[in-house]
């Protein structure tokens, strides 16, 4: 450790970061943002490394949990899910890997999601208008068409 800090100081700061994470799961990026102004940069890096090794910070797991929450709660397109995760500061390549690994399941979800929106909006809108709406929200044309057919 290049900086002159004691083990006590490290533990004190580590506890602070840990409290922040345990209160609500955070991404590495969120931890960085929160503490970069108030903590020595090298120490923060060391703490982040420690927390990743100890699995307190696990972006892959975070992505999985977040996606499962979105799926349970909302009608979103895969694109919208991707943007929401990027906005949380999660690594783009990890998001893409996860989406790719779970492609079939997510395609099914997107179709179901489009069906729900079609159903809700068909009261007030024409099919073509709903189709445009879904395209704007990043739904794939192929999935929109499947939803319309069903």
pLDDT tens readout for residues 47-67: 999 999 999 999 999 999 999
Q: Are 138 and 128 in contact (CB under 8 A)?
A: no
Is the pLDDT at 2 greater than 60, yes or no?
Answer: no
Distance CA(99)–CA(63), nearest Å, equals 10
> What count of other Cβ atoms lies within 10 Å of the Cβ of residue 60?
13
Angle between helices 41-53 and 28-35 (to 10 degrees): 150
Residue 108 pLDDT: 96
- Evaluate if pTM is beyond 0.85: no
Query: In which band, very low, low, confident or very high, does the pLDDT at 5 lie, cut at 50, 70 and 90?
Result: low
Domain boundaries, the chain: 7-57, 60-149
């Amino acid at each position: 450790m290049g900086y002159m800090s004691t083990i006590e100081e490290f533990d004190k700061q580590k506890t602070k970061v840990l409290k922040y994470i345990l209160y609500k799961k955070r991404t590495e990026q969120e931890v960085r943002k929160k503490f970069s102004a108030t903590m020595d940069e090298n120490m923060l890096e060391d703490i982040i490394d420690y927390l990743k090794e100890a699995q307190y910070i696990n972006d892959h797991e975070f992505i999985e949990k977040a996606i499962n929450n979105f799926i349970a709660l909302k009608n979103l397109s895969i694109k919208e899910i991707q943007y929401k995760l990027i906005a949380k500061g999660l690594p783009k390549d990890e998001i893409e890997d996860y989406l790719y690994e779970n492609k079939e399941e997510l395609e099914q979800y997107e179709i179901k999601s489009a069906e729900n929106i079609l159903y809700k909006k068909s009261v007030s809108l024409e099919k073509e208008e709903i189709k445009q709406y879904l395209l704007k929200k990043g739904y794939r044309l192929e999935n929109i068409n499947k939803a319309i057919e069903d």
